[in-house]
Structure formats: structure tokens, C-alpha cells
Amino acid sequence: MIQIIRADKQQTLRLIARREQEAPNVEAPVAEILKQVRTGGDAVLLNLEERFDGVRLDGLSVTREEIEDAWNSVGEAFQKVLTDSAANISAFHRKQVRNNFIITGENGAVLGQRITPIERAGIYVPGGTAAYPSSVLMNALPAKIAGVKEIIMVTPPGKDGKIAPAILAAAKVAGVDRVFKIGGAQAVAALAFGTESVPKVDKIVGPGNLYVATAKRQVYGIVGIDMIAGPSEILVIADDTANPRFVAADLLSQAEHDRMASAILVCTSELLAKTVAEEIEQQLPSLIRQEIARESIDRNGRIFVMDSLEDAVEICNAIAPEHLELAVDDPFGLMTRVTNAGSIFLGKHVPEALGDYYAGPNHTLPTSGTARFSSPLSVDDFIKKSSFLYYTKEALAEAKDTVAAFAEKEGLTAHARSMTIRFEK
């Protein structure tokens, strides 16, 4: 059963202080996989797919015919689900598009910033025993809106050597250019280094298991990455007017993700805390993934009873959750005090699942406290910003002495001379 903790703010802050979680060390085996793929290309990828995913493939590429067959097989109802969700996600992310700017001075100086998309993006989508078409939309659509010329998707096949139709249907809706049947660290390696079939990309985005996360960390610098995603997490702040059935359902919606997921409620009512705990026990047996959700709740689930909503927000800012629900009477007022959260769900009728699939904001979010300094996946992840400057001789003359003095103060006389030499007779 989920643990209920009644403590003052300082005690609670000490309790929620994150400790380094013991995790298997896979750095060496991942490095070996990267090395093998870098030197062996497609042949190594096929061998690794057979070894790790248990499937013998004739080739790595998904054909256009396979994508069309998948689209037709999911049926009109799910086609509409995908297109409606894609429309909302696209509308939200179009608002993120940045513009170039120019600043001109009276002396002829011209300064500015130029936005250009990355050339090629690689998207990792978890697959195999599970299918997450929502991840396809959330990762590919911002890239498309940013103007990325080519989007390459990798996802592990099932034991039959096929990709789940829902994933391929989402790829069609999102405008993915090419899809490959590869998973794990070897897929990250293929995107980072390129092979005979898989083109090298400029940036890799998308969540994955420990091997995928470790591979992304190791190839960073060769290519860009979005973030290192940890286990999913939700924090709900609730006052005594919140519906305990709704709160319990929302906590379980994250607990069913995986055994390491965390579901936390911070509330101001001991009665609500007790009732939510009872509701979790009542709802758990009906879940298909109840075994996973049970372990997550027992291991990482917590209910903290605080004296005030102000204290609850301070606890939230210390945790910096991936998902934050404000199940209170004045969610907009409370939101102004929140400084650290990946995505904020306002009110009692905004379950986290709404953001996962449909509403529009991105569901690829910072985890493990990284919302203190990072942001959800966005159009910005697929662009580069270049600054530019132009000075006339007259404008340079005005700056010459200041720049030279600055350079000499740092002991960089060649810098200083590059300014003054232009004005020597």
C-alpha cells in the first residue's frame, strides 16, 4: 500500500532529497556495441537484432508498402485519433517557431541572429512488446515544423520481424521520411555513425531503456541529443476539494509505466490522503499492468500531508517533477508559485494522460529533477541559432580602441593588433 507521511516541511524536504539510485553499469557493453556498429555497419546491426531482439531480419528498412499496409490495417477510427492528435500537437508547436532578427546602428553596424533547422534528425521510438505511436507524433512533428529536411525513425521489431502497425501509421501522419527496424544501443549507434543503410543524423531524440539512454550519453558530441530520460514521474498537489477517485487514477496512470516510476501526492487533508490510498488499492486489480503498477506504488509511491498549499509548492519545486497536476480550486494562482516542473496540468479535470496523447504540449519531458534546468522537447531542439555581424570601417573605428584595450588586458596582443592594423598608415 502507498505510504502516507505526515511531517513538517523541513522533515519532508529531507525525505524527498534525491539519492543516487543503484543502476546496472552498462557503460562497457554499450561502448562495445557502439564500436561494433561503427566498424561493422549493417551486418553487425542484423547480428545484434538477432542477439538482443530475437529476430532474424532480411533487411533493416521499412518499405513504403509496409507503411501503407499498416495505415490501412489500423482502421478509420484510429486514423482519426492520430490525425486529431497530430493537429493539436502541430498547432501548439507552431507557436514555438522563432524568427530571425536584425539590429542596425546609425554608424553602419548590422547585428543579427539567423535560425536554421538541423539537416537530419533521428527519432528513437520504443517498440517490440509495446507500441507507443504517441512518441512518434511528439518527436517527429516538432522536427517537421522546425523545417528538418529528413526525419529518420528507428524502432525495434517484434519477434515476427514487423513493426507495430500503430507506430507505422503514426509515422505516416507525422511525415517521417524513413523507418528502420532497429532497437537498443545498436540503433543509437546506427544513427550516430551511419551505416550502409542508415544515414548519419545530426541529433537523436526520443526515450528508451537504460541501454538506449547510455548510448545517447556516449555518442553526445558526435551528434546532439535531446535529454537522458529517467523513469516516469507524477506529482499531484491537491486540496481537500479534490476527488480521491480521480487523484488515485492519475497516480496509477504513471505507476503503470514501469516499476521504477514514481507517483507522489502532496495534499493538505489527512482524510483525502487516506481515501486516495484506499482508492489506489481498489483500482489496482483492474489494471492490465497491475503487477508493474503495484511494484511502482509500493517502492516509490508516497503521500505527503502538509500544513498548507504553500508548503506543498515548496516540496514540488524541490522535487522538480516531470508531470505536475494542480488539483485545487485555484490552479492558475498556485501555478505562479511553481518554478520547477516539466508540464503542469491545471485543475481537477485535466488528467496527465490528456497531455500524453492529445492536448498539444509535448510529452517528452525532463525527469529525475532535471526540470530545474531543462525543458520539454520543442521546436527549439531542432534548430540552430547563428549570430552575424557587419561593421563599416567607420563603425570599426569607433570600437577600435575599446576592443584593443580589452584584448590587451587579457594578454591577447594578436587580437588587439587585428583591430589596430586596419588603421595604420
pLDDT digits over 359-372, tens only?
999 999 999 999 99
Q: Is 323 designated active site?
A: yes
Residue 304: Cβ-neighbour burial (10 angstroms; 0-12, 13-18, 19+): buried
Q: What is the pLDDT of residue 9?
A: 78
**Which of the residues 256, 322, 325, 352 is marked catalytic?**
322
CA dihedral 286, 252, 211, 162 (to 10 degrees): 40
Helix axis angle for 309-319 and 9-16, nearest 10°, is: 20
Q: What is the pLDDT of residue 230?
A: 84
d(CA 354, CA 250): 11
- Local confidence pLDDT in tens for the 425 residues of the chain: 899 998 887 888 877 765 445 567 899 999 999 999 999 999 999 999 999 988 999 999 999 999 999 999 999 999 999 999 999 999 999 999 999 999 999 889 999 999 999 999 999 999 866 789 999 999 999 999 999 999 999 999 998 999 999 999 999 999 999 999 999 999 999 999 999 999 999 999 999 888 999 999 999 999 999 999 888 999 999 999 999 999 999 999 999 998 989 999 999 999 999 999 999 999 999 999 999 999 999 999 999 999 999 999 999 999 999 999 999 999 999 999 999 999 999 999 999 999 999 999 999 999 999 999 999 999 999 999 999 999 999 999 999 999 999 999 999 999 999 999 999 98
**Cβ–Cβ under 8 Å, residues 172 and 179:** no
pLDDT digits (tens, 9 = 90+) for 384-399: 999 999 999 999 999 9
Q: What is the pLDDT of residue 129?
A: 61
**Which of the residues 323, 325, 352, 363 is marked catalytic?**
323
d(CA 376, CA 385): 19
User: How many Cα atoms occupy the beta-carbon half-sphere of 13 within 13 Å?
Assistant: 10
